[in-house]
Amino acid sequence: MKLCLCGTSMHIALRTVIFQKVVVIENVPVCSCETCDIQEVLPAIKAEVTDLIRSFGSEPERRTIYFDQTSELAHLLILACDKQQQGRPVQDIVRERVNELLDMMLLARSLNDAEWRKDLERRLRQISQYGNLSSLVS
């Protein structure tokens, strides 16, 4: 659990971020402190959000992007926050997702789909990087 500079533990939530009034990015994980009334993008995904925004260029088209489709961490946070999953250990949810990704990897390999495989590898890397997801959502 991330602590704010004031010492209060921060809450994690999924928010909609609007970029230059035209690009809507849904499901961006942010942490917030009620005491200071501040919100910031989750440090673990800051680089990903920056890359995404950079990819829009200087004159972005009007569109909506679901951040959880590019970010595995956001995807896992949505799974972990899902009401139907409540009460289940986060580790179980993560393990199931890893198994699902490994199954897809087998499929991607047998289909010789290099792009899909690369995307799956990136997602698995993200999970191992932020394996301690339970500390984020508890």
Give dist(CA 109, CA 85) in Å, integer. 30
Nearer to Zn ion, 6 or 106 (CB): 6
Assess contact for 31 and 48: CB atoms under 8 A: no
Do residues 34 and 81 touch, judged by C-beta distance below 8 A?
no
User: Position of tokens 């890893």?
Assistant: 98
CB nearer to Zn ion: give 65 or 136.
Answer: 136
Binding positions for Zn ion, rule: CB under 5 A: 4, 6, 8, 33, 35-36
The nearest distance, CB 55 to Zn ion, in angstroms, is 32
CB of 3 to Zn ion, least distance (A): 8
Through-space distance between the first and last CA atoms of the chain, rounded to whole angstroms:
7
Q: How far is the CB of 4 from Zn ion (least distance, A)?
A: 3
In the bound state with Zn ion, the residue whose beta carbon lies nearer, of 42 and 80, is 42
